Amino acid sequence: MSENLQVELKNIFLKLEGNEIFKNFSLRFSSKGISIILGPNGSGKTILTKIMKGIVNIDKGKVLIKKKNDIGYAPQQVVFLRRNVFDNIAFPLRVKGKRESYVKQRVNYLLTEFNIFDKKSFSARSLSAGNAQFISFIRSIVDDPNILILDEPCSNLDEIHRKKVELYLKRNKKKKKIIMITHDFLQAKRLADEIILIEKGKFLVKYNKQKFLKNEKNIIKDFFS
């Protein structure tokens, strides 16, 4: 793995329940900025994020990630502990043994910054789908990770909360590697530094933003035909 790369998949193979998900799949992400992964349902996008996070183990190949303990992750299916919003956001910090004074300062700062402080004592599992997804995103950034992996982080958000998430990503993309799945082409155009297309577990092509925008209509037409 070269020095300027943070995430790279090399010749990975994976079967789940007898189904071949990836066969000799390779992909190198840019070292910084936002990489958007696009693809139809069933193309392997979500499983790819789980592989990078270490939730799913591959059968063969290499997953090369700098500082594997420095990954923020917001899954498509949000899972909360049976605790309140504050404690769910604080969980990654407490697992890493951070001082409680720092935990309180950091979590309260984020709750205030994202204008959701009033929900800190709510049961996390009682939240609406939109609020749950928003809290899941905040939890993914609580320890200021160098690598951020997001699976459809805005699919249930209203415009106000979506803009807050996108603003954070834009402000931080120069100092982080952000890998994000979305079905929203407009969001991809707003955020992406590179756009990666996959289908049926196969890497198709990678574009920088300028090339994608220049050929957008043909790319979308070819991709979905």
- The pLDDT tens digits for 113-158 are 999 999 999 999 999 999 999 999 999 999 999 999 999 999 999 9
The band of 212, judged by pLDDT with boundaries at 50, 70 and 90, is confident
The band of 210, judged by pLDDT with boundaries at 50, 70 and 90, is confident
Residue 206 phi/psi, 5° resolution?
-130, 130
Find the radius of gyration of the CA atoms of the chain.
Answer: 18
Q: Are strands 202-208 and 7-16 parallel, antiparallel or unpaired?
A: unpaired
> Does 39 or 60 have the greater pLDDT score?
60
Q: What three-state secondary structure class fits 59?
A: coil
Q: What is the identity of the amino acid at 149?
A: I
Tell me the average pLDDT across 173-187: 93
CA distance 124 to 205: 39
The band of 225, judged by pLDDT with boundaries at 50, 70 and 90, is low
Whether residue 13 contacts residue 22, with contact meaning beta carbons closer than 8 Å, is answered with: yes
Length of the chain: 225
- Show the beta-strand stretches assigned E in 156-220: 177-181, 194-199, 202-208
